Structures are given as C-alpha cells and as structure tokens.
Amino acid sequence: MAFSRDPLDELVVPDGTEAKEVDLVTDGDVFVGARSTVEFGVRGRNVLAGESVAFGGAIEAEGDCRLDMWCDVAENVLVGQDAYIGERVHVAGEMKVAGDLDIGDDVEIEEGFEANGWIVIRNPMPTIVFLFVYLKHLLLIGEDETAQQLVSELVDDDEQADVEPLVIPKNATVSDDAWRVSTPATIGDDCRLHGNVRAETIDVGENTTIFGSLRARGDVAVDDGSRIHGDLTTRDGNVTIEGDARILGDVSCADLEIGPDAEIDGTIRADGTITMGTTERDPE
C-alpha cells in the first residue's frame, strides 16, 4: 500500500466492498479518521479508528483493532489478534480479544471483556493520531520510502499486501442515508452501497451499484457496468458515464460525455457540451 500524501485526505472504498444490512464488509483494513461518524458496523482485517469516532454497530476485526480516545461503539467488539483501546472509549456491548488487550483509563465496556493473552490497563499512546501525524511528517519532508516501510510493517502481510484498505477521512459521516465527506471519493469495482454520496469529486469503478444519488463540486465519473439509483449532480464539474453504465435519475453538470451504451433515465441538464460515444466495430 503506497502513500504519496496524507492517507486520510480521500474517501476510498476498495473493490468488492458491500453494505450488508447493518455492516460495511471489506476484505482489507479499515481506517477511520478522527471525529467521524460511521452508523454501520464494520468487518475487515485490521480496524483502526482515530479520536472521537462513533460506530453505530459492531466491530469485527480479523487482525488487530486500535481505537483512540473517546471512541464509541454501539455494539460488540470482536478482535482476532490484539486490541489497543485508548482512554474514555465506550463499548455498549462486550469485547472479546483473541490476543493481548492494551486498555486505557476510564474505558467503559458495558457487557465486560475477555482476552486470551495479556491484559494491560494503562494509558496507551493514541496510536492512530501518532501514526498519521508521523506519516504526514515523513511525507512533508520527502521521506516517502520510510513512510511506505512504516505502513507496510503496520498493516501489510504477504496475503493482504495487494488489498486496498477502506479509508474514511476525518469529520466524515457514513450512513445508510448518506456518505458525506469534504474530500474526493473513490469507489472501486464490484461494490454495493446504500446512501447518497456527497464529496469534492467522485469516481465510481466498474460494475458497482449505488442505491442513492451522487453529488460533487467537481468532476464525476461512472465506469462501465455500474448502476446509480439516483440523480447525478455536479456544481462546477464535468460528468463522464462510460460503457453501458446506467443512471436511474437526472444528470446536471457542465460538460457531459456519455458512453456508447450508457443510459440516463431522467433529464439531462448540461451547461457545456454533450459528447456521445460510439461503439467501435471489430475490423472485418
């Protein structure tokens, strides 16, 4: 996993991510920036959350789980390896940790906790804050290789090295109603999400289904085979709809580029030009 800038300056939904009933499910790691609200539960490999993050469901981490101070979890926390819990964290359910548990002061776990390894009760360093401040400092001084090595040691292994993490930037709101961020948003291939997406720019991969609208200040792109069950609107940007993507709603933008088999079920409002793609014929 390579970083060329602050790793929490973009919403990244990796390939294959699904909103299953009350959980966000992904194959890789989950990073959540400080002061974000995630009204879903999350299921992934390692789960790392910054200060004052609120989860509306359970956390299931196959690997480690790190929750910085003032985090709130509405249900259980189940951890396959080690857990690091900052001070004043609140868990409404129970916590079960297969490995070691490092837990801070004034932590409330309403239904109790258990760990198969060591249990250390103290004030652990706010690991997520430290991690991303240190990473940002390395990137600012041009130490890209050192930053890459640090991230690889913390979150990568041989089986997961090529799996992109789910990244929710700081101050974001993610729910069944809306995904609201003030950053660009990249949604991968073969995803299935619920909620309106609000971001600076939006890039949707192939064969993804979103049950909600897309709205951005800048450009929006929807790749081949994807379905958007709602309107697509930009304030100042252009829209590209590739291949046979389908928008089940209105489209409003500056310039519009439509693929050869793309469909728009609603009204088109384009202040600039509209470019219609053509299907390429195989040479005889």
* pLDDT class of 141 with cuts at 50, 70, 90: confident
* pLDDT class of 280 with cuts at 50, 70, 90: low
> Burial level of 224, CB count in 10 A (0-12/13-18/19+)?
middle
Indicate if the alpha-carbon torsion angle 280, 207, 249, 218 is positive or negative.
Answer: negative
Q: What is the CA radius of gyration of the chain?
A: 21
% of the chain surpassing 70 pLDDT:
82
Q: Give the residue-averaged pLDDT of 81-105.
A: 93
Asked whether the predicted pLDDT for residue 129 surpasses 60, the reply is no
Cβ(197)–Cβ(212) under 8 Å? yes
DSSP letter (8 states) at residue 159: T
DSSP output for 217-254:
SS-EEE-TT-EE-S-EEESS--EEE-TT-EESS-EEES
pLDDT tens-digit series, residues 1-48: 444 445 678 999 999 999 988 899 999 999 999 999 999 999 999 999
List all residues 6 or more positions away from 226 whose beta carbon is below 8 Å from its beta carbon. Answer: 204, 205, 206, 207, 208, 209, 210, 245, 246
How far does Cα 229 stand from its chain's mean position? 20
What is the Cα–Cα distance from 248 to 266, expressed in whole angstroms? 7
Report how far apart, in Å, the C-alpha atoms of 203 and of each of 104, 169, 177, 238, 268 are: 39, 16, 19, 12, 19
What is the Cα–Cα distance from 192 to 20, expressed in whole angstroms? 9
* pLDDT class of 147 with cuts at 50, 70, 90: low
pTM: 0.83
> Which of left, alpha, beta for 199 (phi over 0: left; psi -120 to 50: alpha)?
beta
DSSP letter (8 states) at residue 80: S
Place of tokens 């999400």: 193
Strands 90-91 and 108-109 turn out to be parallel
Q: Identify residue 230 by its one-letter amino acid code.
A: G
DSSP output for 154-190:
HH--TTTTTPPPEEE-TT-EE-SSEEE-SS-EEE-TT
The pair phi, psi for residue 129, each rounded to 5°, is: -60, -50
Supply 174's token pair: 């993610």
Residues pairing with 138 in the sheet: none
Q: Domain limits of the chain?
A: 28-172, 177-276
